[in-house]
C-alpha cells in the first residue's frame, strides 16, 4: 500500500512516499520558497537527488508538481494508488491524544487551534487542503506533534498561574516534537525489550526538547505552552523569567511583538554567540577560541544537564537516555559534555563509541548506571505508521 507522509510549513512542503507495511521509501523530497521568488524543489529517488526550479505560487502548485513527479517517475500509475496521506500537524491542543482521520470537524478544530500555534497550524492546513483538492480519494490523517505529551499528569502540564487561565483560555504545557519523542520511545522499547521503560529522550536540533517517559508514557517535557520554553535552542531562548519582557520593553523602547520576536528569532545560540544559530558554527568558534561561542555552548549544555537531572530524579530510576535531532545525532562534543556533566548519577560515557554521527549506537560503557544511545529519529515513518494503522490494511 502506498502512503504519503507530509510536513507542510509556511513556505515549504516536505514529503516521503512509503510502501507499507514494509516502510520502504519510494521517493522523498522538499518544496522550498513556496510563495516567494526563486522557488525550487528537490526530489530523491533510488539514492539520486534531483534539484529543479519551479514557479510555486502556493502549496497547490507544490502538490500538482509532486503528483506529476510521482507519475512521470512511475512511482504510481494513477492517483488511486495513493491510499493515505499522513499530515504532520503541530498543535492538537488537549483535544487530540492520538492521530485521527481528517474530516470537516477535524479541519475546523485544527483551524481553531491556530490561536495556540499561529505560525504552524495555518501552514499545516494549507497542505491538508491542497492534497484534499487534488488527491480527493486518499484518506487523510492528522498526526499531531502535541499528542504524545497528552499523558502528562496535571502537575507536569499545569503552570502555577491563576487556575482560570487554564480552564478558560487553555494556558498549560502542551509540549512539541511529540512525533519524535514517540519514535524514540517505541525504538527504545524494542531495544530494551521492555514495554514500559522509564526513559529520558533528548531531541536536540535547531529546536530542542527533552522528555521524561514513565512506564512508556510521557510524564513531562521541556517545551511548554509554546515551542519557546525549556532548552537553549538555535534562535530561541527557552526558559526565562517572565519579568524580563516588560522590563526590556520599557528600557529598550520595544513593542511586545518585537520582544517576542527577539525571544524566538534572535536568542539561543545566535543571541549569545552573536555569530550563528548553527551548532557547527558554534563548534568552529569554540575551536578558534571565540569566548561568546564558548559561553553559548556552556549555556546550552548546562540547561540540558539541568533537565536530564531533574527528570532523572522525578522518574526515580531510568532505563535509558537517548539523543536525537541534528545536534543529538551528530555533535560528538555536545553529547560528551552533557553526559560528562551527569557523571555523579553513575552515567559513564564510552568516548570511543560516542565517536559516531547519525547512526544508532550505544555510547555508554557496560558499567554505566544508565545505558545511553544515539537514536536517529524518523518522524516521517511515524506519520506513515499511524496513517497505515488508521486506514486499516
Residue 74 CB, shortest distance to ligand AMP, in Å, is 31
Closer residue to ligand AMP in complex, CB, 125/270: 270
Cell numbers 558554527 label which residue? 281
Closer residue to ligand AMP in complex, CB, 109/209: 209
Region of 175 on the Ramachandran plot (φ > 0 left; ψ -120 to 50 alpha; else beta): left
Residue 20 CB, shortest distance to ligand AMP, in Å, is 25
Annotated catalytic residue 291: no
Closer residue to ligand AMP in complex, CB, 97/206: 206
CB 149 within 8 A of CB 179: no
Query: Which residues contribute to the site for ligand AMP (CB under 6 A)?
Result: 205-206, 234, 278-280, 325-327, 330-331, 357
Closest-CB residue for ligand AMP?
326
Residue 327 CB, shortest distance to ligand AMP, in Å, is 4
Residue 331 CB, shortest distance to ligand AMP, in Å, is 4
55-to-30, 39, 60, 69, 73 alpha-carbon distances in Å: 14, 6, 11, 15, 20
User: Which of 61, 145, 220, 378 is labelled catalytic?
Assistant: 145
Closer residue to ligand AMP in complex, CB, 15/96: 15
Closer residue to ligand AMP in complex, CB, 98/206: 206
Residue 268 CB, shortest distance to ligand AMP, in Å, is 10
CB burial string 156-195: b at 16+ within 10 A, e below: bbeeeeeeeebeeeebbbbbbbbbbbbbbbebbbebeeee
In whole angstroms, what is the distance from residue 304 CA to residue 331 CA? 14
335-to-63, 76, 215, 349 alpha-carbon distances in Å: 39, 42, 25, 9
251-to-245, 246, 248, 259, 375 alpha-carbon distances in Å: 10, 9, 5, 11, 45
* Residues belonging to the active site: 145
Amino acid at each position: 500500500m502506498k502512503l504519503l507522509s507530509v510536513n507542510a510549513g509556511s513556505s515549504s512542503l516536505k514529503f516521503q512516499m512509503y510502501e507499507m507495511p514494509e516502510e520502504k521509501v519510494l521517493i522523498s523530497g522538499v518544496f522550498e520558497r513556496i510563495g516567494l521568488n526563486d522557488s525550487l524543489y528537490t526530489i530523491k529517488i533510488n539514492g539520486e537527488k534531483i534539484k529543479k526550479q519551479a514557479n510555486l505560487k502556493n502549496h497547490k502548485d507544490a502538490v500538482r508538481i509532486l503528483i506529476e513527479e510521482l507519475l512521470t517517475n512511475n512511482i504510481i500509475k494513477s492517483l488511486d494508488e495513493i491510499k493515505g496521506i499522513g499530515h504532520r500537524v503541530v498543535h492538537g491542543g488537549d483535544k487530540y491524544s492520538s492521530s485521527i482521520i481528517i474530516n470537516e470537524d477535524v479541519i475546523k478544530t485544527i483551524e481553531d487551534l491556530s490561536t495556540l500555534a499561529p505560525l504552524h497550524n495555518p501552514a499545516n492546513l494549507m497542505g491538508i487542503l491542497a492534497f484534499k483538492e487534488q488527491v480527493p480519494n486518499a484518506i487523510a490523517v492528522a498526526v499531531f506533534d502535541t499528542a504524545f505529551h497528552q499523558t502528562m499528569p496535571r502537575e507536569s502540564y499545569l503552570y502555577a498561574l491563576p487556575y482560570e487561565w487554564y480552564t478558560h483560555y487553555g494556558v498549560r504545557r502542551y509540549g512539541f516534537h511529540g512525533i519524535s519523542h514517540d519514535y524514540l520511545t517505541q525504538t527504545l522499547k524494542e531495544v530494551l525489550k521492555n514495554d514500559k521503560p522509564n526513559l529520558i529522550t533528548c531531541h536536540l536540533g535547531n529546536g530542542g526538547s527533552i522528555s521524561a517517559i514513565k512506564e512508556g508514557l510521557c510524564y513531562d517535557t521541556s517545551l511548554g505552552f509554546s515551542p519557546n520554553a525549556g532548552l537553549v535552542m538555535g534562535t530561541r531562548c527557552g526558559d526565562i523569567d517572565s519579568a524580563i519582557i516588560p522590563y526590556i520593553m520599557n528600557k529598550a523602547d520595544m513593542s511586545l511583538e518585537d520582544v517576542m520576536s527577539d525571544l524566538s528569532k534572535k536568542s539561543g545560540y545566535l543571541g549569545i554567540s552573536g555569530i550563528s544559530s548553527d551548532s557547527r558554527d558554534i563548534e568552529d568558534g569554540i575551536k578558534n577560541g571565540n569566548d561568546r561561542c564558548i559561553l553559548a555552548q556552556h549555556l546550552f549544555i548546562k540547561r540540558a544537564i539541568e533537565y536530564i537531572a531533574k527528570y532523572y530524579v522525578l522518574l526515580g530510576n531510568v532505563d535509558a537516555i537517548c539523543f536525537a535531532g541534528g545536534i543529538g545525532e551528530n555533535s560528538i562534543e555536545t553529547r560528551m559534555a552533557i553526559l560528562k556533566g551527569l557523571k555523579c548519577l553513575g552515567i559513564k560515557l564510552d568516548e570511543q563509541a560516542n565517536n559516531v554521527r547519525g547512526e544508532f549506537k550505544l555510547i555508554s560503557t557496560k558499567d554505566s548506571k544508565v545505558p545511553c544511545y544515539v537514536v536517529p529519529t524518523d518522524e516521517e515513518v511515524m506519520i506513515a505508521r499511524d496513517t497505515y494503522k488508521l486506514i486499516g490494511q
